[in-house]
Amino acid sequence: MRGFNLIPADINLGLISRKTVFFAFSLLLVVLSVAVFSIKGLSYGIDFKGGIMIDVRTSGPADLGAMRSELGALGLGEVALQEFGQPDDVLIRIQRQPGGEEGQQAALTKVKQALGPGVEYRRTEFVGPKVSSELLLDGVMAVGFAILAILIYIWFRFEWQFGLGAIVALLHDVVTTIGIFALMGLEFNLSTVAAVLTIAGYSINDTVVVYDRVRENLRKFKKMALPELLNNSINQTLSRTVITSLTTLLALLALYFLGGEVIRDFSFAMIWGVLIGTYSSVCLAVPLLLYMNIRRSSRQDSDKETVAPASP
């Protein structure tokens, strides 16, 4: 019995021949992302701007919608609420108020008056600008170390040329994700940093799958023209790539529309990351190998060349 193939197994798309279009499109995306980030900047969340964090327990399951409306009407700026453990535990985050410590205390008093007496205040913390700056630096370092670790992994598993191609595609995904957040004014917080790291892992997984087929074909077909070999490798893994991306998107779309306000920005970042990561793995990481002077043989290869099959 034949398995289900969303894309025909004998498909032969000429993606490598369109590499100039893909490179121009990717360069345009990166330039626009950098320009929007430079002009508008990111809408940093409380994690990176500082503010007030309040851990409260309600008398019953918390009505986050009602609480969000009550606190949003106080004029305190950005207010974020999320369940914290049990359904009656809520973590409230309010952006840092002007006026130093007196301003923070005044905001806390307004919150207590708005929520009423039926709320237990378990913990109150003020996140200052120093702590928020450290969190931002830690987030940037986390992304940087992740990219470095991926480069080392690809270098040892394949060759350094493959590592460079993968890192270019990965930086493309990270920069465009930051650009889309700056363009749409979405909140950039620690959850978004987690999304960026997840996007990096997803994108490199797709890239490794295609690179593995490229390496296999390089050993089998030593005299096949490199553009044809790369194009065949993409087509041979295209069905797996598309099916993996679609199934991941189904879960992410459910989270985006049904998961509530708390994880909506995270879900959006992941949806964008899956789309741009799939694109970069197929249309950017592999065509870049044409310019990387990759070797056509390895120590493990035999002297006998496998005959290349006829093109469909």
Same domain, 247 and 283: yes
Contact between residue 72 and residue 79 where contact means Cβ atoms under 8 Å apart: yes
pLDDT at 301: 44
Residue 309, classified by CB atoms within 10 Å of its CB into exposed (0-12), middle (13-18) or buried (19+), is: exposed
- Confidence band for 307, pLDDT divided at 50, 70 and 90: very low
Supply the range of the domain harboring residue 111. Answer: 51-127
Q: Domain for residue 207, yes or no?
A: yes
Q: Is the pTM higher than 0.85?
A: no
- Is the pLDDT assigned to residue 110 strictly greater than 80? yes
Same domain, 77 and 204: no
Question: What is the torsion angle, in degrees rounded to the nearest 10, for the CA atoms of residue 92, residue 93, residue 99 and residue 105?
Answer: 20
Q: Domain for residue 297, yes or no?
A: no
Same domain, 270 and 195: yes
Look up the CATH number of the domain holding residue 104. 3.30.70.3400
Q: Domain for residue 165, yes or no?
A: yes
Mean pLDDT calculated for residue range 88-117: 85
Same domain, 169 and 233: yes
pLDDT at 308: 45
Task: Out of 127, 158, 192, pick the residue that ends a domain.
Answer: 127
Look up the CATH number of the domain holding residue 182. 1.20.1640.10
Q: What is the Cβ-side half-sphere exposure of residue 60, based on CA atoms within 13 angstroms?
A: 1
Mean pLDDT of the chain: 83
Same domain, 179 and 216: yes
Same domain, 198 and 108: no
- Confidence band for 221, pLDDT divided at 50, 70 and 90: confident
For the chain, what is the domain count? 2
- Is the pLDDT assigned to residue 304 strictly greater than 50? no
Q: Domain for residue 100, yes or no?
A: yes
Dihedrals φ, ψ of 172, to 5°? -60, -45
Same domain, 184 and 216: yes
